[in-house]
Chain A
Amino acid sequence: MTNPQHTHGPSPQTAQWRLPSGARTLGWGCAAVGVVLLALAAWLGNAAGDGWRGFLRSYLVAWCFWASISLGGLFFTAVQHTTRAGWSVSVRRLAELCGAVMPVLAVLFLPLLVPVLMGGDGLYPWVAPEAVAASDLLQHKSPWLNTTWFGARAVVYLAVWVWLGRLFLVGSVRQDADGDVGRTIAFERFSPLALILLALTTTFASFDWIMSLEPTWYSTIFGVYFFSGAAVAILSAMILFAVGLRAAGVLRDAITVEHDHDLGKLLFAFTVFWGYIAFSQYLLIWYGNIPEETEYYLHRAHGIWGGWSLALIIGHLVLPMVGLLSRHVKRRPLLLAFWAVWLLVMHWADLAWLIWPSAGANAVWAVPVEAACMFGVGSLWLAGWLHWASHCALAPLADPRLPESLRFENSY
């Protein structure tokens, strides 16, 4: 749609497409709060009597939560380039920025990696030599599940993610200045490869960091399950950014209710996708009824985790599916933002459900540790986001498809 006569949309006031000057200060404040909260979490975790284990359990949930938003940002950006999407250009920078926070997450991964390399933190059973010696299965898996190879893989995953995050943001920001259409074409050619890289690294990272908490259990769909949660997380985060920034007076003429509507559609779709994948995993294990597979659901079917599972089915699938079904909801920013917050909470509950029962289901509930970890990692993540966001515009100023995005309308 390059018809020059057809540009009846508002001429964008791109000065409003930047964060106000206070954002940088806010970022440093977030960083300070994050460091304090994480120190508090570490102290609380140790004080609770479970040593580092009590802290790391919660820290892993928090890290996976915020990392899944950034991973989802990389996926979203790559998918938009691959499909040459026009509608999403004015919200794409928000996803690029989420992906660009990866360096912060890579540094924050050290508390999880170092204990493994030092030989045992109690979080991953396969790290302890005596546990491996006692189990034929763990010995059989040791060529893959050993500390050196685990560390090497973690470095590869994080390096790929940091690289992709920088690549997507830096290329897009440079285009703001030089308006080179060649960058868009290069992104379109590169993004399918990026998607393959992301699919492989996300799958194996979720095997390594979450599934290996119960090293004798396995599910080949596990990577897809983690991805479906990440997709829900990034779409929720983008909706919150889009609604929140407009409320703060930023991007008001860049993001319209039409973009909210489309983000809401995708959020609805991936909420159902999550349920579809979760059920696909459950059905095969339920029907096969083999002890080494059902063990996983056995831990999650009784006591507090039984109720938790039920709450996930209702809260992560049934309620948001019905709630997001109507277009009227998706076109009302506050209602949409409500479901975005709701689904982020559910995404956290999902990750806690994956990690907590595997890492000691019957441990005393450490709510303060969990909260301090979530908000601690979250503050540092937000500090990173604000840092990179305050150095660039919040929408791609010179993307060749920006006019199409600004004009974008949903049909009935």
Chain B
Amino acid sequence: MVESNAKSETGRQPVPVGVLGQFDHPDALKRAAAALRDAGFRNWDVHSPYPIHGVERAMGMRPSRLPWLVLLAGLTGIGLALALQIWTNAIDYPINISGKPLFSIPAFVPITFELMVLLAAFAAFGGALVLNLLPQFGHPVFCSRRFVDSGRTGFFISIEAVDPKFDADQLPALLSSLGATHTEVLFDLPGRESYPGWLKIGLLSVCIVAAVPPLLVAAYRAAPKSEPRIHIIQDMDFQEKYKAQTVSPLFADGRSARPDVEGVVALGMAEEDEHLYRGFLDGKPAEAFPMPVTMPMMQTGRELFNVYCSPCHGRVGEGGVTGIISARAVKRQEGTWTMPLSLHADSVVDQPVGQLFETITAGRRTMPSYSAQISAADRWAIVAYIRALQRSRHATIDDVPEEIRSNLK
């Protein structure tokens, strides 16, 4: 029972492009598919309104290569992400982030994981399209009126004319013998397999039109302009102000950053009291504190000593390796490290308080100045605490209050 679906209004002669057989049950479809598989057909397919379990085995399809593509893409993602992170974070621009090692696998895992998933998903999506020969704009089965009308409810097998074993005369009978309830040879006009001319021209036009805006932008950016260019995203790039180290035509010296006016002192910066601010009295280091020494002052001194001084001089001022900075330098064998002085050395104990203050204020040898971090009053508090530390090493029984002396025995 062969129907012709020839359309000959153009005068060209239709040619067979395939054979279609319809089956009334998925099991019959599977049996026929198995027979065609065994007969060695290549370019054929089954069509069903829903997935039929086991039909891929009946058709002799081999397991898909898609999993391998996905695996490859996933491994590529892992490699790319790790390489990028190791290169940027640990090699090209090493940066210490909250003390973590430069090469920190835990920190690299989230991005590695995400890139692996991203590339694997791309491979799965793109690979599924490519392996299924999609997108496909036409198929011989659409030459059948019956398939177009009932393709959503029926079960079909189609064999394309490109199959090496294709034979338009024999195949309908073969399909009938395999249980097909209806068979037909599919005819189409030659040349219809290529894309129609309007589609080619349309796509080309779209591409040309789409290229116009970027070309205009490129031409605008490349051409010389006397006016400022259009700057779509400002990002605070242009502001009505001078930046540091730039030229200004407003001043004779051409500097945009202005020096202080001669003879002017900023509020609170006069620091005229030599004793309080420099530790000197009549040109010599002061022997006395510029203020009365009190208990709160001593406690402030201890707190600040522990913050600023103890990292090098140690918590009790012994110097050497008792400070953590010093201990680390020795551990790392830093060649240029100079051992911090013990504050209990005679040369320090014998210094007047003004001399100690001057050392904290101006620095000494490799010790830097602390005048920027610590106010003058607080520097004096530290000096008081250092005096207390020194005294603790040279205390006698007479320094202990009368009433608790017996506790020491």
Tell me the minimal C-beta distance from B55 to chain A in angstroms: 9
Per-residue CB proximity of B136-153 to A under 8 Å, as 1/0?
000000000000000000
Tell me the minimal C-beta distance from B218 to chain A in angstroms: 44
Q: Determine the distance from Cα of A279 to Cα of B110 in the docked complex, in whole angstroms.
A: 10
Q: Which residue of chain B lies nearest to A8 when distances are taken between CB atoms in the complex? A: B27
Q: Is the CB of B25 within 8 A of A5?
A: yes
Q: Is the CB of A409 within 8 A of B54?
A: yes
A286 partner, pick from B25, B53, B54, B106, beta carbons under 8 A = B106
Q: In this assembly, does B167 line the interface, its C-beta being within 8 Å of a C-beta of chain A?
A: no
Q: Which residues of A contact B56 (CB under 8 A)?
A: 411-412
In B13-30, which residues have CB < 8 Å from any A CB? Answer: 25-27
In A1-50, which residues have CB < 8 Å from any B CB? Answer: 5-6, 8
A282 partner, pick from B26, B63, B100, B106, beta carbons under 8 A = B106
Q: Determine the distance from Cα of A301 to Cα of B116 in the docked complex, in whole angstroms.
A: 28
Q: Which residue of chain B lies nearest to A289 when distances are taken between CB atoms in the complex? A: B98
Q: Is the CB of B109 within 8 A of A412?
A: no
Q: Which residues of A contact B106 (CB under 8 A)?
A: 279, 282-283, 286-287
Q: Which residues of B contact A407 (CB under 8 A)?
A: 53
Q: Which residues of B contact A283 (CB under 8 A)?
A: 106-107, 109-110
A411 partner, pick from B53, B99, B109, beta carbons under 8 A = B53
Q: Determine the distance from Cα of A122 to Cα of B54 in the docked complex, in whole angstroms.
A: 60
Q: Which residue of chain B lies nearest to A258 when distances are taken between CB atoms in the complex? A: B53
Q: Determine the distance from Cα of A5 to Cα of B27 in the docked complex, in whole angstroms.
A: 10
Q: Which residues of B contact A279 (CB under 8 A)?
A: 106, 109
Residue of A8, A289, A412 with highest tally of chain B CB at under 10 A: A412
Q: Which residues of B contact A6 (CB under 8 A)?
A: 26-27
Q: Is the CB of A412 within 8 A of B53?
A: no
Q: Determine the distance from Cα of A279 to Cα of B99 in the docked complex, in whole angstroms.
A: 20
Tell me the minimal C-beta distance from A312 to chain B in angstroms: 15
Q: Which residue of chain B lies nearest to A328 when distances are taken between CB atoms in the complex? A: B63
Q: In this assembly, does B51 line the interface, its C-beta being within 8 Å of a C-beta of chain A?
A: yes
Q: Determine the distance from Cα of A289 to Cα of B25 in the docked complex, in whole angstroms.
A: 65
Q: Is the CB of B63 within 8 A of A412?
A: yes
Tell me the minimal C-beta distance from A140 to chain B in angstroms: 28
Q: Which residue of chain A lies nearest to B62 when distances are taken between CB atoms in the complex? A: A412
Size class of B's contact patch?
10 to 19
Q: In this assembly, does B61 line the interface, its C-beta being within 8 Å of a C-beta of chain A?
A: yes
Q: Determine the distance from Cα of A409 to Cα of B109 in the docked complex, in whole angstroms.
A: 36
Q: Determine the distance from Cα of A55 to Cα of B359 in the docked complex, in whole angstroms.
A: 65
Q: In this assembly, does B64 line the interface, its C-beta being within 8 Å of a C-beta of chain A?
A: yes
In B74-121, which residues have CB < 8 Å from any A CB? Answer: 98-100, 106-107, 109-110
The dominant DSSP class at the B interface is loop
Q: Determine the distance from Cα of A132 to Cα of B281 in the docked complex, in whole angstroms.
A: 59
Q: Which residues of A contact B63 (CB under 8 A)?
A: 327, 412
Q: Which residue of chain B lies nearest to A282 when distances are taken between CB atoms in the complex? A: B106
Q: Is the CB of B61 within 8 A of A411?
A: no
Q: Which residues of A contact B51 (CB under 8 A)?
A: 411
Q: Which residues of B contact A411 (CB under 8 A)?
A: 51, 53, 56
A412 partner, pick from B27, B61, B98, B99, beta carbons under 8 A = B61
Q: Determine the distance from Cα of A412 to Cα of B67 in the docked complex, in whole angstroms.
A: 10
In B37-68, which residues have CB < 8 Å from any A CB? Answer: 51, 53-54, 56, 61, 63-64
Per-residue CB proximity of A42-67 to B under 8 Å, as 1/0?
00000000000000000000000000
Tell me the minimal C-beta distance from B397 to chain A in angstroms: 39
Q: Which residues of A contact B109 (CB under 8 A)?
A: 279, 283
Q: Determine the distance from Cα of A287 to Cα of B61 in the docked complex, in whole angstroms.
A: 49
Per-residue CB proximity of A273-301 to B under 8 Å, as 1/0?
00000010011001101000000000000
Q: Which residue of chain B lies nearest to A280 when distances are taken between CB atoms in the complex? A: B110
Q: Which residue of chain B lies nearest to A286 when distances are taken between CB atoms in the complex? A: B106
Q: Which residues of B contact A409 (CB under 8 A)?
A: 53-54
Per-residue CB proximity of B320-364 to A under 8 Å, as 1/0?
000000000000000000000000000000000000000000000
Q: Which residues of A contact B26 (CB under 8 A)?
A: 6
Q: Which residues of A contact B107 (CB under 8 A)?
A: 283, 287
Per-residue CB proximity of A90-132 to B under 8 Å, as 1/0?
0000000000000000000000000000000000000000000
Q: Which residue of chain A lies nearest to B64 when distances are taken between CB atoms in the complex? A: A412
Q: Which residues of B contact A287 (CB under 8 A)?
A: 100, 106-107
Tell me the minimal C-beta distance from A251 to chain B in angstroms: 21
Q: Which residues of B contact A289 (CB under 8 A)?
A: 98-99
Q: Determine the distance from Cα of A6 to Cα of B28 in the docked complex, in whole angstroms.
A: 11
Q: Which residues of B contact A8 (CB under 8 A)?
A: 27
In A387-412, which residues have CB < 8 Å from any B CB? Answer: 407-409, 411-412
Tell me the minimal C-beta distance from B246 to chain A in angstroms: 41
29 CB < 8 A contacts A-B: A5-B25, A6-B26, A6-B27, A8-B27, A279-B106, A279-B109, A282-B106, A283-B106, A283-B107, A283-B109, A283-B110, A286-B106, A287-B100, A287-B106, A287-B107, A289-B98, A289-B99, A327-B63, A407-B53, A408-B53, A409-B53, A409-B54, A411-B51, A411-B53, A411-B56, A412-B56, A412-B61, A412-B63, A412-B64
Nearest 7 interchain pairs by C-beta: A409-B53, A286-B106, A412-B63, A283-B106, A412-B56, A409-B54, A412-B64
Contact surface of B with A, Cβ cutoff 8 Å = 25-27, 51, 53-54, 56, 61, 63-64, 98-100, 106-107, 109-110
A287-B107, A412-B64 known, 20 other contacts, Cβ within 8 Å: A6-B26, A6-B27, A279-B106, A279-B109, A283-B106, A283-B107, A283-B109, A283-B110, A287-B100, A287-B106, A289-B99, A327-B63, A407-B53, A409-B53, A409-B54, A411-B51, A411-B53, A411-B56, A412-B56, A412-B61
